[in-house]
Chains A and B, each alone.
Chain A
Amino acid sequence: EVQLLESGGHLVQPGGSLRLSCVASGFTFSNHAMSWVRQAPGKGLEWVSSISGSAGSTFYADSVKGRFTISRDNSKNTLSLQMNSLRGEDTAMYYCARNYDILTGYWSAFDYWGQGTLVTVSS
């Protein structure tokens, strides 16, 4: 059974940093691109970042480029998101998601999602 378990979300002050993690199980982690998607309270879904299975390619939304860094450790089946210079508009539930297609990687939909970890940016 595929499982994705996020952690690391909590209250942080504007300008602060936070590191989110997602531990995967139930599939060959290195075969799949992985992504982060966020959802502000009461709002819709926003794609944040993606990384290829080999970690050779990374992709970012303009809203987080230069502030967030996605990475993965395939030996530990772990996806991470380092978030710096946090702003109020980064307040959201952050979901880890698996890109389903092994061949197309990033260019595929998200077939499994974690339950999310909540990041609140406030003074």
Chain B
Amino acid sequence: IVLTQSPGTLSLSPGERATLSCRASQSVSSSSLAWYQQKPGQAPRLLIYGASRRATGIPDRFSGSGSGTDFTLTISRLEPEDFAVYYCQQYGTSPQAFGQGTKVEIK
């Protein structure tokens, strides 16, 4: 399964809403879709799993939705610490795969 994320870069201001897309080349099994955040020089951090379940300690401004081949990560109001690269991952079909990433940058 190939995951395609869009847009490649999202330029927004703090307080704005961010909508990130992840499209799969075939249906993702059992909504086995995760989202990660990565900041420069840091390891990725799990935000969302099972397409819509927030991981432990993740603020509720982060939400995931979608099923089948189309998934979305929404950040309701961007905080300064949210500017980072975001990756989607499918883990329901072998081999697991990541999307190429969406960079959310300060406008």
Contact = CB atoms under 8 A, between A and B. Distances in A.
Contacts of A107: 32, 91-92
A56 to B, nearest CB: 16
Interface residues of B, number: 24
Contact of A108 (B49, B98, B100): B49
Nearest to B44: A113
B46 A100 contact: yes
A109 B45 contact: no
The B interface, classified by DSSP as helix, strand, loop or mixed, is loop
B68 interface: no
Chain A interface extent, by class: 20 to 34
Given A45-B98, A47-B98, A114 B91 contact: no
B44 A109 contact: no
B7 to A, nearest CB: 15
Interface of B: 32, 34, 36, 38, 42-46, 49, 55-56, 87, 89, 91-92, 94-101
Given A44-B98, A45-B36, A108-B32, 10 more contacts: A45-B38, A45-B101, A47-B95, A47-B97, A59-B95, A62-B95, A95-B43, A107-B92, A110-B36, A113-B44
Interface of A: 37, 44-47, 50, 59, 61-62, 95, 100, 106-111, 113-116
